[in-house]
Amino acid sequence: MGRRNEQLRWQLAKGLIHALHLERLASRYSRTTVMAVFNLVNGSFSIALVSFVALVTQEAFIFPSLGATAFILFYVPMAQPASPRNTLCGHLIGALMGLLCLYIFGLQGQPSAFATGVDLSRVGAAALSLGLTSCLMVVFRVAHPPAGATALIVSLGLMPNPAQLPILMAGVALLLAHAFVMNRLAGIPYPVWGGGGVAPATEGSKVGV
């Protein structure tokens, strides 16, 4: 599976290099260098896109766990945790469990732990939110590791308002749309919803550099 993921990452980079007519430039450098630059550009662009929407709307479209999601979407695009189903459902579970634990421990409307420090109530909210998120992702088969961070972001008070939930999910959806377009342009059959594990690259979909 590791080798297949590596092939898919290289296919994604080659597909975009071909689309931008940069084959000659890329051929001067090693595969590692090309992949490093590709991840630099693609990771920066994906988060810049979501951040720009946040800037224009002045809403919280961007939040820390999106960085980890962006890495997964482009580093292992055909792995189950990178599928739209896992990504959306995972973050939704994390946010809901974070909100639930704020109410359980009486922390709704309180300043974040970063402003007031951590007390026993905050410890309980953080621990239970992550535990519930992990449990439910397994139960519903929607494992997405960055969602654990989303649970902590909410339970630690960084996004404590239920009205922020639609904005949070819209940020995830925007990142997924970018991943869908970039992967499909490179010839990678990134799923519309569910995923079926890592698929090997086919000869017809490979693009030479």
What pLDDT, in 10s, does the model give residues 102-135?
Answer: 999 999 999 999 999 999 999 999 999 999 999 9
Kindly state whether residue 140 falls inside one of the protein's structural domains: yes
Highest mean pLDDT among 36-40, 98-102, 192-196: 98-102
196 pLDDT tier (thresholds 50, 70, 90) = low
Lowest-pLDDT range of 132-141, 147-156, 191-200: 191-200
Angle, helix 65-75 to helix 146-155, in steps of 10 degrees: 170
Kindly state whether residue 64 falls inside one of the protein's structural domains: yes
Q: What pLDDT, on the 0 to 100 scale, is given for residue 1? A: 53
Kindly state whether residue 203 falls inside one of the protein's structural domains: no
* Mean pLDDT of the 70-89 span: 94
Kindly state whether residue 63 falls inside one of the protein's structural domains: yes
Kindly state whether residue 15 falls inside one of the protein's structural domains: yes
163 pLDDT tier (thresholds 50, 70, 90) = very high
What is the percent of the chain where pLDDT is above 90?
65
User: How many domains, in total, are found in the chain?
Assistant: 1
Cβ neighbours of residue 147 under 8 Å, at least 6 residues apart? 65, 90, 91, 93, 94, 133, 137
| Residue 203 clears pLDDT 60, i.e. is over it | no
Kindly state whether residue 21 falls inside one of the protein's structural domains: yes
Q: What pLDDT, on the 0 to 100 scale, is given for residue 74? A: 87
- Domain range for residue 105? 2-198
Cα angle value 94/98/103 (rounded, 5°):
150
Kindly state whether residue 127 falls inside one of the protein's structural domains: yes
d(CA 26, CA 44): 19
d(CA 144, CA 142): 6
Judge contact between 16 and 38, C-beta under 8 A. Answer: yes
145 pLDDT tier (thresholds 50, 70, 90) = very high
